[in-house]
Amino acid sequence: MTEKIVTTNRKARHDYHIVDTMEAGIVLKGTEVKSIRLGKVNLKDSYATIKNGELFLIGMHISPYDFGNIFNHDPERERKLLMHRREIRKLFGKVQIQGMTLVPLKLYFKKGKVKVQLALASGKKQFDRRHDIAKRDAEREMRRALKAKQQVRKQY
């Protein structure tokens, strides 16, 4: 598959435990697609919600297209996501009953269409974040030590 990743939501993996991921299409206007192609999009602090059986992405910022004049769009508008009805119902059950959140992880082009990868996620507590940071630092130190040890061997 040909995927061209436009942007990723790095903060989502920091703030949430990712349980499941799925792909959704997104309804956009022409100037929005042009801005996305230029990379002028931000997923930070955005989330998806279900209203009247439809899925909407809220808080995604797409900068106005420079040459769009009167046809430009509202940068912070709600955007409808495209998924099958049974998938939305399944998500609705998990979000309502289990208290999970729908968070966009990345925005990309697939076969010329803009897609968003959604994650079903549960929020991390502060101590979980600290634990993840400590674990990442420990792994980094181990890699450094192994690399230094290999460089010493190469010298002899």
Nearest to 14 by CA among 136, 129, 131: 129
* Alpha helices, H only, the chain: 10-15, 30-37, 85-98, 126-155
Nearest to 83 by CA among 55, 50, 47: 55
Determine the pLDDT at residue 15. 82
For the chain, the structural domain boundaries read: 3-124, 125-156
AA identity, residue 55: L
- Residue that is written with structure tokens 């949430």 in the block: 16
Name beta bridge partners: 103: 119
Q: Are 57 and 76 in contact (CB under 8 A)?
A: no
Q: Can you tell me the distance from the alpha carbon of 21 to that of 121, in angstroms, rounded to the nearest whole number?
A: 9
- 3-124 folds as Small Protein B; Chain: A; (2.40.280)
Report the predicted TM-score, pTM, of the whole model to 2 decimal places. 0.75
Instruction: Provide the 3-class DSSP secondary structure of residue 79.
Output: strand
Determine the pLDDT at residue 56. 94
Determine the pLDDT at residue 1. 57
Q: Give me 117's structure tokens.
A: 């990868």
Per-residue pLDDT of the chain (156 residues; tens, 9 = 90+): 578 888 888 888 888 888 889 999 999 988 888 889 888 899 888 999 999 989 999 999 988 888 877 777 788 889 999 999 999 988 888 888 777 889 999 999 999 899 999 999 887 777 677 887 888 888 898 888 888 878 777 776
Q: Are 9 and 41 in contact (CB under 8 A)?
A: no
Nearest to 8 by CA among 83, 55, 60: 60
CA 81 to chain centre: 14
